[in-house]
Structure 1
Amino acid sequence: MKFSQRIGKKPATKNIQLESIDEDLLNGLWNISKIYIIDRISRRAKYGGDTDFDLFSNILWHKFYRLPIDTIPDYDFKTEKFIRENFFKGQWYETYDFIEFLTSLDFDEINTKDFITAINSLLEHEFSAYRFIDGKIAPISNKIEVNEIQQSLEQVNYFTSLSGANIHLTNALEKLSDRKNPDYRNSIKESISAIETTCRVLTGESTLGKALNSLEHKGIKIDDQLKSGFDKIYAFTNNKQSGIRHAIIEEHNNPDFDDAKYMLVVSSSFINYLVGKCKKLGITIK
């Protein structure tokens, strides 16, 4: 973590980038595109004819920009300047259109697999809601998921008694979105702890299992299958093989971004569900 982030002058974490691309992500996408694609396309003429860069420019103008190819600048550096200016002034979705289009190119100098790997690594690092999946950029988060997390954070921040849950959820999000050192295992731990804290506050019970059963006595009817599902999720975090809530002393499975994001979204949704039920039943949450 940078000095400016440690002292709170610059954020160490960020929100999921669903319908936006911030400066760090935009710069990274351009750099990878230039290193893996644009700079690798040959600008040397073959047998006195057009260069691969000329062919690349023709394809780009014709298939992507949909512009007359006789408007392509006479010099390569001017062509690249045009490409760069369009990249940085476009809408966020146009940027992803361009990145996806680059993978359709077929030049000997280009390794599309390495390009996609580098892009996906950057998208995860910058907390983007998208990844290359089966050759296409696809969302791994949607508005509903993002809204669930945001609403849950607002809920637990509003009620004083749920301040503990607020701390757990905030920590879960921070550990998931830390750009320098994401901690997926402890993000999952914080997410499930947020559920446990919420249930214990609502019921006064000492464990999540007892709290889920006690909720029914307060009139909050939870379907047996749903309750069983959360029991199993809690059991997963307590499983020694997962190493989530136990010391890592044997071979274990390392959770990844998708595991941690899933747990954060599920935990947020369940907290919203419980708070919503309490409001409907007139149960006071201080």
Structure 2
Amino acid sequence: MRFSERNGYKPIREIIQKNSINMDLKNALWNTIIVCIFNKYSYHFGARSRPIIGSNLESFFQLLFHSFFKKRIDQIPYSIEATIDDIDTLFFKKYQWYEIYDFIEACIEYFPFQDDKDSFNTLLNDCLQIENSAYRIINNKVTEITSEQEIKSIEEALQNTNPYSGVQQHLNQSLKLMSDRQNPDYRNSIKESISAVESICKIVTQDEKTTLGQALKIIENKYGLHEALKKSLSQLYGYTSDADGIRHAMLEESNLSYIDAKFMLVACTNFINYLIEKTK
């Protein structure tokens, strides 16, 4: 992760890729298509300069041209090499980010080697996860897993906590650990999200030793807090204490994922934004 990402200077939308695809992700998706489809071209003469007609990819390109590109199939270039060049131009120079995802879905739908389709989807999802895309392949479709509202919650929390460097540092660290492309650390990302909540509670109550439960009681008495909301917050963040909860149960799980860390970061930023607005 670069300096700008580690220290919170890079916009959230560039770290979590929603409504965009940067060149790293674009290259990774293209490489997956090359490896899983184009490089498996087989023709009885072998060379990529040989024709598509008669090869094992003939039906794939016919479906692609007929149903996706909406072109005549007699306009398919003669060779696999020329066809890849034409698609390369579309993919890297002409397509918008959403058109690239349309193309990915078409490749999945017309995938020519059905026994390997799950592996293709897995490799695509690996690329999407490593590059922090807001989308994943689910049931053969590109599906949003990070909403606009979630991104806005993180953005607002980072802006709202400008006066509170300690809280902001915890949030930046949580985001950094969650979105590190080389070595994501979801467990410690969750810890940092919780620490941000604890930190804002100490600021709001002006008590360095307060617990979340005590802070909620103070906020309820001083500013008003609906009982149902207080209970839900207490239940959700109850595992910040030394009792049963995230520090003892969830964090011991071996399969924590980006989804778990993102959920906790968004939940914590929602609560932080709520507390700051409530106590103004």
Alignment TM class, shorter chain as reference: 0.7 to 0.9
Q: Which residue of 1 aligns with 2:192?
A: 190
How far is the alpha carbon of 1:115 from its aligned partner? Answer: 0.6
Partner of 2:225: 222
Equivalent position SS for 1:103: helix
1:34 counterpart residue number: 34
| Inter-CA distance 122–238: structure 2 relative to 1 (3 Å threshold) | farther
Contact 2:238 2:245 in 1 (8 A): no
Match of 2:99 in 1: 94
**TM-fit CA distance, 1:62:** 0.7
Unaligned runs of 5+ in 2: 46-52
Amino acid aligned to 1:275: I
C-alpha distance in structure 1 between counterparts of 2:202 and 2:103, whole Å: 49
Question: Aligned partners of 1:270 and 1:142: how far apart in 2?
Answer: 17
Corresponding residue for residue 263 of structure 1: 264
Structure 2 match to 1:119: 124
Following superposition, the deviation at residue 54 of structure 1 comes to 2.5
Q: CA deviation at 1:43?
A: 3.2
One-letter code aligned to 2:277: G
- Hey, what does 1:105 align to over in structure 2? 110
Shift of 1:152: 0.6
State the TM-score, normalized to the length of structure 1. Answer: 0.84
Identity %: 38
Q: CA separation in 2, counterparts of 1:119 and 1:237? A: 35
Check conservation: 1:153, 1:166, Cα contact below 8 A: yes
- Matched with 1:24 is 24
Question: What CA deviation, in whole Å up to 9, does each residue of 1:38-95 have, x standing for no partner?
Answer: 22243348xxx72222322211111111112222212221111111111112110111
Alignment of 1:56-67 (within 5 A): 56-67=60-71
Aligned to 1:210: 214
Are the aligned partners of 2:60 and 2:111 in contact in 1 as well (CA < 8 Å)?
Answer: no
5+ residue gaps, structure 1, are none
Distance 1:128 1:239, change over 3 A: farther
Q: Cα offset for 1:230?
A: 2.4
The 5 A counterparts of 1:22-171 are: 22-44=22-44, 50-89=54-93, 90-108=95-113, 111-157=116-162, 159=163, 162-171=164-173
Letter in 2 for 1:36: C
On the 8 A contact 1:36/1:110 being kept in 2, the answer is no
* Residues 1:88 and 1:240: Cα distance change in structure 2 (over 3 Å): farther
In the alignment of these two chains, the number of paired residues is: 264
Shift of 1:142: 1.2
1:231 aligns with 2:234: yes
Which residue is 1:174 aligned to?
Answer: 176
CA–CA separation in structure 2 for the residues paired with 1:150 and 1:108: 42
CA distance in 2, matches of 1:254, 1:70: 49
Question: Is residue 273 of structure 2 the alignment partner of residue 272 of structure 1?
Answer: yes
Question: 1:123 deviation in Å?
Answer: 0.7
- Structure 1's 202 and 245: CA in aligned 2 closer, same or farther, altered over 3 A? farther
Name the TM-score, length of structure 2 as normaliser.
0.86
CA contact (8 A) 2:5 2:176 kept: no
Aligned partners of 1:87, 1:213: CA distance in 2, in Å? 55
**Structure 1 Cα separation of the partners of residues 43 and 236 of structure 2:** 56
* Cα distance between partner residues in 1 of 2:242 and 2:256: 13
